[in-house]
Chains A and B, each alone.
Chain A
Amino acid sequence: MAIELKNVTKQVGAETHVYETNLSFDKGGFNVLLGTTLSGKTTLLRLMAGLERPSTGEVWFDGKDVTGVPVQRRGVSMVYQQFINYPNFTVFDNIASPLRVAGESKGRIRQRVEKISKLLKLTPLLERLPSELSGGQQQRTALARALVKNAPLVLLDEPLANLDYKLREELRDELPRLFMDTGATVVYATSEPLEALMLGGYTATLHQGRVTQYGPTPMIYRKPNNLLSARVFSAPPINTATIQKEGSTFRLTDSATWPAPAALRQLKNGPYTIGIRPHHISVESHGAGAVSINGIVQIAEISGSESIIHFHIEDNSWISECRGIHPYKVGESARLYLDVSRCFYFNPDGELIAHPGAADG
């Protein structure tokens, strides 16, 4: 079902949880709400579900105003971060519960439940109680219950956040496939940018109750419309610094300057902000066009095959993520190379001027 939020806000007491929001999700799409905690993701999900009424604005499903419709009649399934299951029902009864409420025949129920449990690998556990299951199995049961209802709208609120790292990876792979076949519209809230990238579809970046950008996920990643969106959609955090434009060069420090790309040469001289992702700063130069900088290393973390180097340059705390093992000591000085062809340029208000690829001259 196609969902539209029109001028929706939500105030609780003196606090505004959601500022004026206009969002439109196509039928059958996979949509990600990406933002840190308290950015409004959960509130938006609850507004879509009908668990909360918007303070102003309307919620429309398939061209009909459903703002006043209670949640039981909206045709919605929801999966939560805490594995919510009926503690006294077996896995089978848990999955069957929405079908029983809808009054389906026993035969149909059995058929549907068995099909879904096969999909989610729950078949050997059907007679167990939730307390006898592991975290991953409990969450799978909750997912199965959401799927079996075949609701046209499925809402997931950080469903993998309480799971082990590895389990998260496995379920993350399965999720888009699971919902694709049902044709349901999925809205998935998360605070991990990597999850958004892996799930694909469309992403809306949220910051403190406002949607800063919405569009196809790879596009949001590669072309954030402003500094806030860029910050939300990066882990490790994107490196930013103020640079000066002087004539036809940009200057970061006295020794780190580079020629302005053709598309930006007409800009006024003055301060701008660059954003550069950690994996575009490296200990090894990638060739001509690399700008070298000297940083004071705060800490170097080694992970398997890569090094994550936290360092200071001018007043900025930056992070470099590069291949190879580089065990710098605290306080050591390091020479690092920026790939400036991958920089984002923002004006002093934080609006995007140029993203990598568009700025090439």
Chain B
Amino acid sequence: MNKTANSKAWLFVIPMVVLVAFNALIPLMTVVNYSVQETFGDNVFFWEGMKWFEQVLRSDRFHESFLRQFAFTGMILLIEIPLGILVALSMPRKGPWVSVCLVLMALPLLIPWNVVGAMWNIFALPDTGLLGRMINGLGIQYNFTQGPVAAWATTVVMDVWHWTSLVVLLAYAGLCSIPEAYYQAAKIDGASAWAVFRHIQLPKMKRVLTIAILLRFMDSFMIYTEPFVLTGGGPGNTTTFLSIDLVKIALGQFDLGPAAAMSLIYFLIVLLVCWIFYTLMMRGEAK
């Protein structure tokens, strides 16, 4: 539908533009500013050009955090998406239990992120935490503050607990939109439950799942609060993901130049992945 020109509408937009400019655009420009210059404080700047970018892209530390981040995001997606779909499939679509299930699924999403980290921290403590005590009691050596495998496992489980509900709710919405006639036709065709899933449910959930994957990718790629509260990035730097590393450099070492450059690279990666997803989604719809 082509909208006809309406100059009064711009008046509504201006306050929002100002707000966004103040909160987002100006800080972003500041970061760009820092990323191409060197400063030792007192607002004295020296132009460095692409030096910080090159330094970051060549640094081993960056490569390691980057790989760690990718591994983490990969694991998250591989677990949460299928698990979310599975749970959504088992949720009832009609009847009194629907609201109960939806509320249960929504609960983890409502908890503030640092509380999540703190919760799991206490829960997984090897000597006093419920989970920690139980695992050690079974004979498995478990201490997430000291063992990297334990730290990773706990972080992943925490994220799965926290965020799978989002995938569940999105997939559930997708499933609910499938007309009953499809299931009836499948029954008449004698299709097995797997065939119903593969040929009816999955294709119809495609759009919703794309959104779910996109959201989970973005959020897990930028994850900061929960792992920081849980492990602080340790033991050592085994769970230091990209954003945690970034903050360490920027605020810990006060190396604003490299930190800014890393921010921008980080930002561009996320932007690139979003763009790829968007194009795929649009191409899928155009067909």
- Residue in B2, B4, B6 whose Cβ sees the most chain A Cβ within 10 Å: B4
* Interface of chain A residues 48 through 96 with chain B (CB within 8 A): 50-53, 68, 70
A70 (CB) vs chain B CBs: closest residue: B4
B2 touches A68 (CB 8 A): no
Residue count of chain A within 8 Å CB distance of chain B: 6
Residue count of chain B within 8 Å CB distance of chain A: 4
Q: How far is the CA of A70 from the CA of B1 in the complex (A)?
A: 12
Q: Which residues of A contact B4 (CB under 8 A)?
A: 50, 53, 68, 70
Q: Which residues of A contact B2 (CB under 8 A)?
A: 52-53
How many contacts A-B (CB < 8 Å)? 9
Q: How far is the CA of A253 from the CA of B2 in the complex (A)?
A: 55
B6 (CB) vs chain A CBs: closest residue: A70
Q: How far is the CA of A70 from the CA of B3 in the complex (A)?
A: 8
B93 to chain A, nearest CB (A): 20
Q: Which residues of A contact B1 (CB under 8 A)?
A: 51-52
Q: Which residues of B contact A68 (CB under 8 A)?
A: 4
A17 to chain B, nearest CB (A): 13
Q: How far is the CA of A184 from the CA of B2 in the complex (A)?
A: 27
Q: Which residues of B contact A51 (CB under 8 A)?
A: 1
Q: How far is the CA of A68 from the CA of B3 in the complex (A)?
A: 11
A73 (CB) vs chain B CBs: closest residue: B4
Q: How far is the CA of A52 from the CA of B6 in the complex (A)?
A: 15
A354 to chain B, nearest CB (A): 45
Q: Which residues of B contact A53 (CB under 8 A)?
A: 2, 4
Q: Which residues of B contact A50 (CB under 8 A)?
A: 4
- Chain B 2-13 per-residue mask, 1 if CB under 8 angstroms from chain A, else 0: 101010000000
Q: Which residues of B contact A70 (CB under 8 A)?
A: 4, 6
A52 (CB) vs chain B CBs: closest residue: B2
* Interface of chain B residues 20 through 37 with chain A (CB within 8 A): none
* Interface of chain A residues 299 through 326 with chain B (CB within 8 A): none
- Chain A 20-58 per-residue mask, 1 if CB under 8 angstroms from chain B, else 0: 000000000000000000000000000000111100000
A72 (CB) vs chain B CBs: closest residue: B4
A240 to chain B, nearest CB (A): 37
B58 to chain A, nearest CB (A): 46
Q: How far is the CA of A51 from the CA of B3 in the complex (A)?
A: 8
A269 to chain B, nearest CB (A): 52
Can you pick out 9 interface pairs between chain A and chain B where the beta carbons lie within 8 Å of each other?
A: A50-B4, A51-B1, A52-B1, A52-B2, A53-B2, A53-B4, A68-B4, A70-B4, A70-B6
- Other A-B pairs, 7, CB within 8 Å; known A68-B4, A70-B4: A50-B4, A51-B1, A52-B1, A52-B2, A53-B2, A53-B4, A70-B6
